[in-house]
């Protein structure tokens, strides 16, 4: 387990988490399940309250992850599980995690019904673009990114570092090397690349850290020079 100085975001399925300690937050990443899903715990260092982003699989490992951030902040409950989008590989452990913790659940409003149907878990907090999720003294802004699914959302953790750097949890809407899969649908791709450009790249700085739903982390600065290339290739 590493902290700020050693954090890379490189994790492997079933392996140990990678943990970074920020001025006012802790972010922990773990890979779970057969499709190498990234799940994240965000914790408020002042209050100990925790958020899980994508209860993808392996509930026991995710519940361990909720506890492991306690080394860098006070002990606190899991307050909410956010599901970034409706695809089954991002919600396989949702019911078990909620049963074990009693946490609230949040997801994009346009994906909420599908998530409830797939899991039997009520989405208590349907999210719209511009909503704010409070986690103790932390603020996470909701960014609706239409295209991968109708209700896909990203979360922007702002104010967690004295430097002003933001941290984006993008689900399957933005990865190193491109936007999420739109199954070759030109309209869906146009929607997603448009939202990612206007709502992420035009709103946040190059130092913004990106935590995707699978694989390695990146920054907006590393990806920004390639936006025109992505748009031209159509995926």
- Between 122 and 2, where is the model more confident? 122
Closest CA to 66 of 83, 49, 84: 49
Residues paired with residue 40 on neighbouring β-strands, in sequence order: 29, 53
Cα separation values, 91 from 65, 69, 184, 223, Å: 16, 21, 24, 27
Q: Render 126-193 in DSSP notation, one character per residue.
A: EE-TT-EEEETTEEEEEEE--SSSTT-EEEEEESSSTT---EEEEETSEETTEE---TT-HHHHHHHH
DSSP structural state of residue 226: G
Q: What is the structure's pLDDT at 3?
A: 40
Q: What is the structure's pLDDT at 6?
A: 86
Produce one character per residue of 105-143: b if its CB has 16 or more CB atoms within 10 Å, e if not.
bbbbbbbbebbeebbebebebbbebebebebbebebbbb
Report residue 83 as tokens: 């599901």
Q: What is the structure's pLDDT at 68?
A: 83
Q: What is the pLDDT of residues 167-178, one digit of tens each?
A: 999 999 999 999
Q: Render 8-26 in DSSP notation, one character per residue.
A: -----TTS--EEEE-SSEE
- In total, how many domains does the chain have? 1
Q: What is the structure's pLDDT at 1?
A: 36
- Is residue 161 very low, low, confident or very high in pLDDT (cuts 50, 70, 90)? very high
Average pLDDT of span 57-73: 90
- Is residue 26 very low, low, confident or very high in pLDDT (cuts 50, 70, 90)? very high
Report residue 214 as tokens: 């699978």
- Is residue 188 very low, low, confident or very high in pLDDT (cuts 50, 70, 90)? very high
C-beta of residue 178 within 8 angstroms of C-beta of residue 212: no
Q: What is the structure's pLDDT at 5?
A: 55
- What is the extent of the structural domain holding 119? 4-233
**At residue 83, does pLDDT exceed 60?**
yes
Q: Report phi then psi at 70, rounded to 5.
A: -65, -15
Report residue 15 as tokens: 């392996």
**At residue 70, does pLDDT exceed 80?**
no
- Domain holding 22: CATH number? 3.60.15.10
Report residue 208 as tokens: 């913004």
Q: What is the structure's pLDDT at 120?
A: 98
**At residue 126, does pLDDT exceed 80?**
yes
**At residue 2, does pLDDT exceed 60?**
no
């Amino acid at each position: 387990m590493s902290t700020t100085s050693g954090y890379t975001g490189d994790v492997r399925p079933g392996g140990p988490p990678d943990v970074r300690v920020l001025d006012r937050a802790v972010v922990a990443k773990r890979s779970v399940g057969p499709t190498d899903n990234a799940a994240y715990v965000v914790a408020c260092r002042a209050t100990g309250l925790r958020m899980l982003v994508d209860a993808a699989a392996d509930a026991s490992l995710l519940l361990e992850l909720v506890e492991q951030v306690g080394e860098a902040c006070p002990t606190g409950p899991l307050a909410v599980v956010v599901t970034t989008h409706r695809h089954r590989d991002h919600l396989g452990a949702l019911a078990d995690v909620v049963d074990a913790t009693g946490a609230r659940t949040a997801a994009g409003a346009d994906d909420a019904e599908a998530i409830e149907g797939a899991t039997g878990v009520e989405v208590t907090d349907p999210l719209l673009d511009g909503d704010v999720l409070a986690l103790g003294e932390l603020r996470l802004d909701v960014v609706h990114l239409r295209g991968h699914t109708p209700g896909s959302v990203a979360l922007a953790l702002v104010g967690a570092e004295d430097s002003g750097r933001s941290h984006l949890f993008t689900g399957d809407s933005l990865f190193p090397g491109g936007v999420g899969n739109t199954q070759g649908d030109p309209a869906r791709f146009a929607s997603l690349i448009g939202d990612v450009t206007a709502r992420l790249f035009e709103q946040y700085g190059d130092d913004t850290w990106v935590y995707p739903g699978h694989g390695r982390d990146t920054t907006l600065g590393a990806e920004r020079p390639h936006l025109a290339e992505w748009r031209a290739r159509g995926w």
